[in-house]
Amino acid sequence: MRREERRVQLNGFCLEVSLLFRTMVESDLDRVLTCLSEPSVDTTTRERFVDFLRDGSYRHEWTWLALEGDTLAGLAVWWGFPDGERPLALDRLWAAVPDPVPLWAELIRKVPPPAEYHIFTQPERRHDPAITIRLAAAAEAGLTTVTERPRYEWTSASPLPARSERLTFTPADDEAFVDIFEQISVGSLDVATREGVARVGARAHAVEDVAGYRSMPGPRERWRLAHDKTGALVGCALPSANAGGPVVGYLGVVPAQRGHGYSDDLLAEITHLLAEDGAATIRADTDSTNTPMAAAFERLGYHQFALRVVAS
């Protein structure tokens, strides 16, 4: 723990306040839960916090507090995989000051990159002031790239899409998926992929991605490589799951095979595999700039139900 002098802008005046920034300890739980009881555009509720604290998705050392004396002035709750070594995404911001942007920015800076802030909302609420002020804090902390990701879902009320007749799907080991992730990253329309490649290089980012998908609770044995009738590698399809249930984990087509509509084949295979395992609802999202993928979701019976806004 360390005490730092910070100038915090309050109601247009610059006041000198002494704030202590530190991670949570067990004795903080009650007051953290009190803060999380307040309505918010963020996802973390007191019930979710208790559940995720138990399974390791939230941790004391990933929950940052700002204190003025004994008074809690601000809070940042970060999420990561239960078996992960570091937090990956910001789930909740809270503050008890009139202008929270500088305070929140300081809290966000406590977690080094790569890190993201995910806000789940409806398209018509994209410019809600509560979202705008949080994105301003994220930008001040260095998370300046904002990506909108329409969220889609398929339900068992819709027919299953036709399964591919031109591709063969086979399991493979992790190294094979690292190889194809690296290939797919070339020319990718996915913002996170481009950022990851720029940060650590295509191979290292592929290794990170495969490890991340392995950490998800989805069925690893269902991952598939896809080949055409000549035996040429086309892409990969990864059915998966998160805390909310079954999801389209990942799909991609290698550069040499793009332009033939293979995203439909891959998405259909993922949908069938998850449905065979009992999924009644399957969710997914894609960057708003990735129009080919959005079109594939719509063709195969997925409909948009929400919007994810990501600052990175």
Return averaged pLDDT per consecutive 10 residues of the chain, 312 residues in all: 42 59 97 96 96 96 96 97 93 96 97 94 96 98 97 97 98 98 97 95 97 94 98 98 95 98 98 98 97 97 97 96
Q: What is the pTM of this model?
A: 0.89
Q: At CA 25, angle to CA 24 and CA 29, rounded to 5?
A: 85
CB 46 within 8 A of CB 58: no
What are the residues whose beta carbons fall under 8 Å from the beta carbon of 127, sequence distance 6 or more?
none
CA neighbours within 13 Å on the CB side: how many for 303? 7
Question: Cα dist. 291→108, 190, 287, 297, 309 in Å?
Answer: 31, 11, 8, 10, 17
Query: What is the rounded distance in angstroms from the CA atom of residue 34 to the CA atom of residue 31?
Result: 5
User: What number of H helices and E strands is found in the chain?
Assistant: 9, 13
How do 168-170 and 146-155 pair as beta strands?
unpaired
Q: What is the dihedral of CA 127, 131, 134, 138, to 10 degrees?
A: -60
Could you tell me which of 121, 29, 118 has the C-alpha nearest to residue 75?
29
> What pLDDT score was predicted for residue 18?
83
Query: What is the rounded distance in angstroms from the CA atom of residue 116 to the CA atom of residue 97?
Result: 23
